[in-house]
Structure 1
Amino acid sequence: MADNIEALSFEEALSELEKIVRGLEGGQMKLEEAIASYERGAALRQHCETKLSEAEARVQAIVQKANGALDMKPLD
């Protein structure tokens, strides 16, 4: 498990989050391990939401010119 969540790509963070969810749903973890996993999962969820918001802003910044060419509009 990577310690630095900020360094993870969206796909890496989502994959790790899915593993955590499966582990928690399995009910086989000790209490302290489950709490630590839940905390990491919450941080991974936030990281994924941030990455998705950033991607959405980039996509929304792409506009089509009158001649059909794509351009970038400045982000507010």
Structure 2
Amino acid sequence: MEQKETTQTFEEAMEQLEEIVTRLENGDVPLETAIELFQEGMRLSQLCGSKLEHVERKIEMLIETEDGVQRKPFAPGQEDRGE
């Protein structure tokens, strides 16, 4: 498996991780290969988590106020659901 961690997108990493999970779930790989796949899966999982955290820090909600537009950090689960 060729690794391009610096250029690998979140979507590419998730696709590769899904392939690894499928192979491991099938159970038709030798133990050594399963261990290698598991290690690669953990690396991809950490990469995806890191990319999500990075994006989450960048997300900002724009809230219109009487004084103009105010920037507020995005806080998952605390969105204003009222209208």
TM interval, short-chain normalised:
0.7 to 0.9
TM-score by length of 2: 0.72
**2:77 is matched with which residue?**
none
Q: CA, structure 1 residues 72+34, in 2 after alignment: closer, same or farther (shift >3 Å)?
A: same
Q: Partner amino acid for 1:27?
A: G
Unmatched runs of 5 consecutive residues or more in structure 2: 74-83
Count of aligned positions: 71
The percent identity for this pair of structures is 32
**Distance in 1 between residues matched to 2:64 and 2:53, nearest whole Å:** 24
Runs of 4+ residues deviating >3 angstroms: 61-66, 69-73
**2:41 is matched with which residue?**
41
| Cα contact 1:6–1:47 (8 A) shared by 2 | no
**1:10 is matched with which residue?**
10
Q: Which has the larger radius of gyration?
A: 2
Unmatched runs of 5 consecutive residues or more in structure 1: none
Structure number with higher strand proportion: 2
Structure 1 residue 20, shift from structure 2 partner: 0.2
Structure 1 residue 6, shift from structure 2 partner: 3.3
Structure number with higher helix proportion: 1
